[in-house]
Chains A and B, each alone.
Chain A
Amino acid sequence: MTTATIDKAAPTRKVKYGSMSRDRAWALRWSYFFLVIFAIFFLTPPIYMFITSLKSSAEISAATNPWWVFHPTLENYAGLLTSNQFLRFFWNSAIVSIFVVTITMLISVPAAFALSRMRFWGSATLATGVFLTYLIPETLLFIPLFKMFAVIGDWTGIQLINKWYVLLILYPTLTVPFCTWIMIGYFASIPKELDEAAVIDGASWIQTLTRIFIPVAFPGIIAATIFAFTVSWAQFLYPLVFTTSTDQLVMPVGIITSLIKGDVFNWGQIMTGALLGAAPPLIIYAFLMDYYIAGLTAGATKG
């Protein structure tokens, strides 16, 4: 009787198993289909830029096949990398981004810790408020902000407009709320018993933050750092509005203001500049991704 049951069950199970793997095969086929389409879609512009960056101005204006380089040259790269102006933009961008990332992390990590763990009066409302500020676009803010800095300049004599360091005040308004929000999420996933254990072990709030929370939520800190860096490296509107002198410009604005003269577009150098400008975020992603993927609280609890 037992054998009969098994014989009966076996084909049923096989069919079920087969259909499951067929589902999976189809799911994979669709995933590949869409992934390939997206990859083509998003990789075409940079490839086009790369091809163009290898052409001389003469070849670009000759309007030959845009997807092929007949006389490859590095003159655009050489031109930019020896241009003091371009190096200045690059340097400004780097300084601004590094400062902004530092400022952002110094504010948003303790803020997230306080909002997620210290449970003071109004902390929940404040946490929501922090996120809401992130939803207001900078296109809405740049005129009032400009006016504000102008007024401050009139009253105090401190001129912030057209100085690169004005960006150190502006960018954190974009990065701090979002990074705080990310960190609140990461801190919330740390079991409450972990800070209770630390408190009983004799740790102060600051020690709990620096010795337990920051190391445990390190992947979250990496994610927030990447975000803050990308935002400040790629930000376009604020530097366009608030900085004008060439020595104060950051890269995205610098490229278009210095390489477009009237209606003359220096396409080769524009493409080269954009490619070189995209390199630092790529390098940062590549380095930090490993940490980002590492597990968060594995082993803290029963698992």
Chain B
Amino acid sequence: MADVTLRKVVKRYDEVEAVRGIDLDIADHEFVVLVGPSGCGKSTTLRMIAGLEDISDGDIMIGGDVVNDVPPKDRDIAMVFQNYALYPHMTVAENMSFGLRLKRYPKAEIKSRVDEAARMLDIVELVDRKPKQLSGGQRQRVAMGRAIVRNPKVFLFDEPLSNLDAKLRVQMRIEIKKVHQKVRTTTVYVTHDQVEAMTLADRVVVMNHGRIEQIGTPNELYHKPATKFVASFIGSPAMNFIPCRLEDLAGKLHVRLTDRIAFPLPPARAARYQGIPRADKLLLGLRPEHITEAKPHPEPGVEAFETVLDVTEPMGMETLIYFTLEGAQVCGRVNPNAGAQDGAPLRLAVDLNNMHLLNEVTGVVL
């Protein structure tokens, strides 16, 4: 068990800078998820922690020791690969014990560790099989078992679930969470699936173009995104961005969306946005759940307006509605009984207590 620290870590491949200076402190026992779009440098970062890639610049510390030049086998880490990478000629038990056998652990100790891991992962009856006799989900469990028996300082996962079908992925996600609750090993987990990131992580690191965009707990990222990239990456369906301006109307600060629609800001928000120049081009960020059908007695800060819907998507528990404001497609979530219909007008309410205001040019959340 150990903490992991990255200091200004850079990775250059000839011309390309895959990772451009990453600072990250991962506490002991913490489960940190690196998330971001394809090619943003998640795997590269993970592989540098593992020691599979040299670092071009900066320092990586595991348990307080700089490990820049320490080979992978001496870093005391375990890694689970996207394609499992099981040794095809060994049985499940041999796969799991390979690392321990190389280190010449006593036979009894190896057996007890393998048994324990197999029990934890519910693969006891599979230990004598070869990998080719296992299903994808079972192979993934064996790959995790191989990491667990080593009892390393750090677990590294590189998109371990992306080869599984949707249902199995949900199941294995829970499995991984359970394992982490039991063994409490510091974990760095790479995924491009924001749901996986939100559900698994103690803290999520959102990466983009080789840089860290934001670090925070799942809730922080969801409710207080720092940039438009994070705001749009986290959450499904994604946050809506509607072009807008600030305007003073009758002594109160308003946010103007269209010629027809301008909402007065709740007092807390008005105070926060007071200093923004009125001419600035802004974006109003609203999550779909904050655009609902209008209610007879709205709470303070909830403003109603009327619009014509383009498309509706009944999901059972709720209905997703899509309409257009100032050229931007907007998604809302209404009650299935609210009477939303394709092409029909509907009176909607926006909850401005949960709004975000972004600079349209820089994408920074104000």
Q: Which residues of A contact B (CB under 8 A)?
A: 191, 193-194, 196-204, 207, 211-212, 215-216, 218, 295-303
In the complex the two chains form, is B136's CB within 8 Å of A196's CB? no
**Which residues in B have their C-beta under 8 angstroms from that of A215?**
89
**Which residues in B have their C-beta under 8 angstroms from that of A303?**
132, 136
Question: Quick check: which of B76-84, B284-292, B298-306, B315-323 contacts chain A, the rest being far away?
Answer: B76-84
Given contacts A299-B131, A299-B132, A300-B131, contact A201 B88 (CB under 8 A): no
**Which residues in B have their C-beta under 8 angstroms from that of A296?**
88
1/0 per position for B225-269, CB-CB distance to A under 8 A? Answer: 000000000000000000000000000000000000000000000
A-B contact pairs, 22 of them (CB 8 A): A193-B81, A193-B83, A194-B85, A196-B50, A197-B79, A198-B87, A200-B52, A200-B72, A200-B79, A202-B73, A202-B102, A216-B88, A218-B89, A295-B132, A298-B131, A298-B132, A299-B132, A300-B84, A300-B85, A300-B87, A300-B131, A302-B84
In the assembly, what is the distance between CA of A300 and CA of B85, in Å? 5
**Which residues in B have their C-beta under 8 angstroms from that of A295?**
132
In the assembly, what is the distance between CA of A203 and CA of B133, in Å? 25
**Which residues in A have their C-beta under 8 angstroms from that of B132?**
295, 298-299, 303
Question: B163 within 8 Å of A by Cβ?
Answer: yes
**Which residues in B have their C-beta under 8 angstroms from that of A202?**
73, 99, 102-103
Given contacts A299-B132, A302-B139, contact A201 B85 (CB under 8 A): no
In the complex the two chains form, is A191's CB within 8 Å of B85's CB? yes
**Which residues in B have their C-beta under 8 angstroms from that of A204?**
73
In the complex the two chains form, is A199's CB within 8 Å of B84's CB? no
In the complex the two chains form, is B163's CB within 8 Å of A302's CB? yes
CB-contacts of B301-338 with A (<8 A): none
Given contacts A201-B99, A201-B102, A302-B139, contact A212 B87 (CB under 8 A): yes
In the complex the two chains form, is A197's CB within 8 Å of B163's CB? no
In the complex the two chains form, is B102's CB within 8 Å of A302's CB? no
Distance in angstroms from A230 CB to nearest chain B CB is 26
Distance in angstroms from A240 CB to nearest chain B CB is 43
In the assembly, what is the distance between CA of A261 and CA of B266, in Å? 115
Q: Considering the complex of A and B, which 4 residue pairs feature the smallest CB-CB distances, nearest first?
A: A299-B132, A299-B131, A193-B85, A201-B99
In the complex the two chains form, is B84's CB within 8 Å of A301's CB? yes
Of the candidates A193, A199, A299, A302, which one forms a contact with B88 in the assembled complex, judged by CB atoms under 8 Å apart? Answer: A299
Distance in angstroms from A95 CB to nearest chain B CB is 32
In the complex the two chains form, is B102's CB within 8 Å of A207's CB? yes
State the interface size on chain B (CB cutoff 8 A).
32
In the assembly, what is the distance between CA of A215 and CA of B131, in Å? 14
**Which residues in A have their C-beta under 8 angstroms from that of B150?**
201
In the assembly, what is the distance between CA of A88 and CA of B209, in Å? 72
Tell me the nearest residue of chain A to B87, going by C-beta. Answer: A212
Of the candidates B50, B133, B163, which one forms a contact with A299 in the assembled complex, judged by CB atoms under 8 Å apart? Answer: B133
Distance in angstroms from A100 CB to nearest chain B CB is 27
In the assembly, what is the distance between CA of A216 and CA of B132, in Å? 13
**Which residues in B have their C-beta under 8 angstroms from that of A198?**
87, 98
**Which residues in A have their C-beta under 8 angstroms from that of B134?**
299
**Which residues in B have their C-beta under 8 angstroms from that of A194?**
85, 87
Of the candidates A191, A196, A203, A301, which one forms a contact with B79 in the assembled complex, judged by CB atoms under 8 Å apart? Answer: A196
In the assembly, what is the distance between CA of A243 and CA of B51, in Å? 55
Of the candidates B51, B77, B83, B163, which one forms a contact with A191 in the assembled complex, judged by CB atoms under 8 Å apart? Answer: B83
**Which residues in A have their C-beta under 8 angstroms from that of B163?**
302
Distance in angstroms from A294 CB to nearest chain B CB is 10
In the assembly, what is the distance between CA of A155 and CA of B102, in Å? 49
In the complex the two chains form, is B73's CB within 8 Å of A201's CB? yes
In the assembly, what is the distance between CA of A32 and CA of B320, in Å? 63
In the complex the two chains form, is A196's CB within 8 Å of B139's CB? no
Distance in angstroms from A195 CB to nearest chain B CB is 9
In the assembly, what is the distance between CA of A212 and CA of B72, in Å? 17
In the assembly, what is the distance between CA of A197 and CA of B78, in Å? 8
Tell me the nearest residue of chain A to B90, going by C-beta. Answer: A215
In the assembly, what is the distance between CA of A204 and CA of B83, in Å? 22
Tell me the nearest residue of chain B to A298, going by C-beta. Answer: B132
Question: B86 within 8 Å of A by Cβ?
Answer: yes
In the complex the two chains form, is A196's CB within 8 Å of B81's CB? yes
In the complex the two chains form, is A196's CB within 8 Å of B73's CB? no
**Which residues in B have their C-beta under 8 angstroms from that of A201?**
73, 98-99, 102, 146, 150
In the complex the two chains form, is B87's CB within 8 Å of A216's CB? yes
In the assembly, what is the distance between CA of A194 and CA of B150, in Å? 17
Question: B173 within 8 Å of A by Cβ?
Answer: no
**Which residues in A have their C-beta under 8 angstroms from that of B82?**
193
Question: B169 within 8 Å of A by Cβ?
Answer: no
Question: B130 within 8 Å of A by Cβ?
Answer: yes
Known: A200-B73, A299-B131. 14 other contacts (CB 8 A): A193-B85, A194-B85, A194-B87, A202-B73, A203-B102, A216-B87, A296-B88, A299-B86, A299-B130, A299-B139, A300-B86, A301-B86, A302-B83, A303-B132
Of the candidates B72, B87, B130, B131, which one forms a contact with A199 in the assembled complex, judged by CB atoms under 8 Å apart? Answer: B72
In the assembly, what is the distance between CA of A204 and CA of B74, in Å? 11
Distance in angstroms from A150 CB to nearest chain B CB is 48
In the assembly, what is the distance between CA of A302 and CA of B168, in Å? 14
In the assembly, what is the distance between CA of A182 and CA of B150, in Å? 35
In the assembly, what is the distance between CA of A199 and CA of B84, in Å? 15
Tell me the nearest residue of chain A to B86, going by C-beta. Answer: A300
In the complex the two chains form, is A300's CB within 8 Å of B81's CB? no
In the assembly, what is the distance between CA of A200 and CA of B89, in Å? 18
**Which residues in B have their C-beta under 8 angstroms from that of A207?**
102
